[in-house]
Chain A
Amino acid sequence: MLKRFKESKIKIISIFFSLLLALFILVQIICIVTHTTLPALIISICSKEMQFAIALSLITSVISTILCIIISIPTAYALARYDFFGKSLINTMLDVPLALPPLVAGVGLLILFGTTSFGKTLADAGLVFVFTPLGIIIAQFSVNVPFMFRILRGTFQGINPRYEHIAQTLGCTELQAFWHVTLPMAKNGLLAGSIITWSKGIGEFGAALMLAGATRMKTETLPISLYLNMSCGELNLAIAAATILIVISLGSLFIFEKYGGFAKVF
């Protein structure tokens, strides 16, 4: 036994580090969920404010995920299937939000919608994004769309265009071939992309804070609620928000691993 230990020092050390890291993450989660008692947690979750935050988070994240899907399908298809001028530039631009801090993206959005004539035109038409729930949706969309896009691009790249060719010879238009063949074949990628985009949307904080602000009972999503309640010492409410976010994250991670193992996010 001792001999084997000597033989694989690197193995022992590296496994030790991986255990340490896993433990570090586990401890954080345990600290949060054990910081309160179950009755207190239930009372907090049932409070009006938390109910509002849950509802707002669900609504905004579902809408922003649907937006991500609608925009990403054609974008990912174009970049997976066709060669065109400026393709690599577009690919790079679409990756930028992954590297950009969400706070910076939020500032960009705030300036775009708050100060430019484009933003003012939209506001005049009734689409006010600054300090409104609508802003939360746009913030979630712009930060998370690369996840959806990248997963879908990988999925479409993995589907041989000959499937569509055959469909066309059998009587499909190009659009029908996409609809009847490629889209159903991309089902797993779509599901995985939607899950990760949705769960990222629920947790979106930085960009939403900049554009939509942190107004209690108005733009108070779960992460905003966590932030507001932390800063004014309402620890039970803060922990309730954090616990809900943990459950959502772990649940989506599980589904993503199950259906999206093939798709690369980074």
Chain B
Amino acid sequence: MIRIKNISKNLGEFFLRDVTLDIEAGNYFMILGPTGAGKTILLEAMAGIYRPDRGEIWLDGRNITNIPPRDRNISMVYQDYMLYPHLSVEKNIAFGLKLKKIPKEKIKDKIEDITNMLGIHHLLHRFPGTLSGGEKQRVAIARAMVTEPKALLLDEPLSALDTQTREILREELHKIHINTKTTIVHVTHNFEEVFSLGDSMAVMNEGKIVQVGRPDEVFKRPNSEFVANFVGVENLFRGKSTINNGISTINVNGISIVSTTCKSGDSIISIRPEDILVSRKKIESSARNSFNGKIKSIVDKGPIIKIVTDLGIPFSAIITRQSFNNMELKRGTSAYFTFKASDVHFI
């Protein structure tokens, strides 16, 4: 496991302030934060590129604060790949193995394994300049993983990719984590990545860790205004989903929500507050989800109003000021919250 104890580092524009963090072995740990929060320096401090001004870093019970990067056995992948342009894909991946003086035959086997796993075996003789973004990032991941590191640090690894490639690579990362059980620390500002990959997460701001926890806990119970504003995702629920006749029913704290997306098992779902219809009386419609509850709070956001109800789980809906006035909604008023099964998204 990685223990970060009170580390501080000042690099002028970017800095860390008294960061303490424990990352369990085998965990997929997400670090979320705005630009300039110090996420990258934190990764670089773990990798050993910067020595902290104060504090200590421990890896599996060993104090590695003053150990150079090459002896830490921690690999890193940057957003912009950093593949060596003068080396072929094969030589890029073999880079770390060659330095460790591993016999040629064994290097070949390892490269064979990792490239087959990542589906880049056919690229071995190409040069980085000729690869697509997704291919480059696979090669960068292969180069980092082939040395069998104790931890893999990913600095916004999917941010430079197009949506489709990003989704495929996200699956790929998930697979790598399942297969290798390597501790992964993944820096991002993308919420979907946090939910689809993260076992735990930390939110960073201005060089500090602001909140640590399971992703759904952090999103559901932000501990500060900053986190609440930054994560800003509402109607996020964890539950067990079962598929029946082509539709999923997700049980969230005893409430059954229906979705047209088919996915079973433990899942996280989200419903956009704008997709929820609010009415005083029950309405007959094609929408499959309709719940009755009392309005718990009303947040005035100018032209739109946010209404929050508690159905055992907190539900937020956004409506226009005009409908709000027409319906004469107040705190404590009973209302129906209705939304279509196709508006229930799995994360």
Contact residues of A with B, CB < 8 Å?
160, 162-163, 165-173, 176, 180-181, 184-185, 187
CA distance A162 to B77 in the complex (A): 10
List the B side residues contacting A165 at CB < 8 Å.
44, 47, 49, 69, 76, 82
A163 → chain B closest CB, angstroms: 5
Question: Which B residue sits closest to A83, measured CB to CB?
Answer: B12
| CB contact between B48 and one of A162, A168, A176 (< 8 Å): that residue | A168
Interface contact A171-B100, CB-CB below 8 Å: yes
Q: Is B281 an interface residue (CB 8 A)?
A: no
Main SS class of interface, A: helix
Interface contact B82-A162, CB-CB below 8 Å: yes
List the B side residues contacting A180 at CB < 8 Å.
95
Question: Which B residue sits closest to A181, measured CB to CB?
Answer: B84
| CB contact between A184 and one of B72, B75, B86, B143 (< 8 Å): that residue | B86
Question: Which A residue sits closest to B40, measured CB to CB?
Answer: A162
| CB contact between B95 and one of A160, A162, A167 (< 8 Å): that residue | A167
CA distance A171 to B143 in the complex (A): 12
A6 → chain B closest CB, angstroms: 48
CA distance A184 to B47 in the complex (A): 24
Residue among B70, B76, B100 with the highest chain A CB neighbour number at 10 A: B70
Q: Is B59 an interface residue (CB 8 A)?
A: no
Interface contact B84-A169, CB-CB below 8 Å: no
Q: Is B129 an interface residue (CB 8 A)?
A: no
Interface contact B82-A171, CB-CB below 8 Å: no
CA distance A184 to B92 in the complex (A): 13
List the A side residues contacting B44 at CB < 8 Å.
165
| CB contact between B99 and one of A163, A172, A184, A185 (< 8 Å): that residue | A172
Interface contact A185-B85, CB-CB below 8 Å: yes
CA distance A170 to B77 in the complex (A): 11
Interface contact A168-B147, CB-CB below 8 Å: no
* Interface positions of B from 63 to 77, Cβ below 8 Å from A: 68-70, 72, 74-76
Contact residues of B with A, CB < 8 Å?
44, 47-49, 68-70, 72, 74-76, 78, 80, 82, 84-86, 95-96, 99-100, 143-144, 147
A178 → chain B closest CB, angstroms: 13
Residue among A162, A163, A169 with the highest chain B CB neighbour number at 10 A: A169
Having A169-B70, A171-B99, A184-B86, one finds 19 other A-B pairs with CB under 8 Å, namely A160-B80, A160-B82, A165-B44, A166-B76, A166-B82, A169-B48, A169-B74, A169-B75, A169-B76, A169-B144, A170-B95, A170-B96, A170-B144, A171-B147, A172-B99, A173-B68, A173-B70, A185-B85, A185-B86
List the B side residues contacting A170 at CB < 8 Å.
70, 75, 95-96, 99, 143-144, 147
Question: Which A residue sits closest to B71, measured CB to CB?
Answer: A171
Residue among B44, B74, B84 with the highest chain A CB neighbour number at 10 A: B84
Interface contact A169-B100, CB-CB below 8 Å: no
A148 → chain B closest CB, angstroms: 21
From known contacts A162-B78, A185-B86, A187-B86, infer whether A171 and B49 are also in contact, taking CB-CB under 8 Å. no
List the A side residues contacting B69 at CB < 8 Å.
165, 168-169
List the A side residues contacting B72 at CB < 8 Å.
169
From known contacts A162-B78, A165-B47, A166-B78, infer whether A171 and B85 are also in contact, taking CB-CB under 8 Å. no
List the B side residues contacting A185 at CB < 8 Å.
84-86
B127 → chain A closest CB, angstroms: 13
CA distance A149 to B74 in the complex (A): 35
17 inter-chain pairs at a CB distance below 8 angstroms, sorted by A residue, are A165-B47, A165-B49, A165-B76, A166-B76, A166-B143, A167-B95, A168-B47, A168-B49, A169-B47, A169-B75, A169-B144, A170-B70, A170-B75, A170-B147, A171-B70, A171-B96, A173-B68
Residue among A163, A170, A185 with the highest chain B CB neighbour number at 10 A: A170
List the A side residues contacting B147 at CB < 8 Å.
170-171
A121 → chain B closest CB, angstroms: 40
List the A side residues contacting B80 at CB < 8 Å.
160, 162
List the B side residues contacting A160 at CB < 8 Å.
80, 82
CA distance A159 to B321 in the complex (A): 54
CA distance A160 to B83 in the complex (A): 11
Question: Which B residue sits closest to A164, measured CB to CB?
Answer: B49
Question: Which A residue sits closest to B155, measured CB to CB?
Answer: A162
CA distance A169 to B68 in the complex (A): 9
Q: Which 6 A-B pairs have the closest CB atoms?
A: A170-B96, A171-B99, A168-B69, A171-B70, A184-B86, A165-B49
Interface contact A168-B82, CB-CB below 8 Å: no
List the A side residues contacting B68 at CB < 8 Å.
168, 173
CA distance A160 to B80 in the complex (A): 10
List the B side residues contacting A167 at CB < 8 Å.
95
List the A side residues contacting B144 at CB < 8 Å.
169-170
Interface contact A172-B70, CB-CB below 8 Å: yes
List the A side residues contacting B86 at CB < 8 Å.
184-185, 187
List the A side residues contacting B82 at CB < 8 Å.
160, 162-163, 165-166
List the A side residues contacting B74 at CB < 8 Å.
169
List the A side residues contacting B47 at CB < 8 Å.
165, 168-169
List the B side residues contacting A172 at CB < 8 Å.
70, 99
From known contacts A168-B69, A185-B85, infer whether A176 and B49 are also in contact, taking CB-CB under 8 Å. no
Residue among B96, B100, B144 with the highest chain A CB neighbour number at 10 A: B96
List the B side residues contacting A163 at CB < 8 Å.
82, 84
A82 → chain B closest CB, angstroms: 13
Residue among B44, B69, B95, B96 with the highest chain A CB neighbour number at 10 A: B69
CA distance A164 to B70 in the complex (A): 11
CA distance A171 to B48 in the complex (A): 12
CA distance A173 to B67 in the complex (A): 12
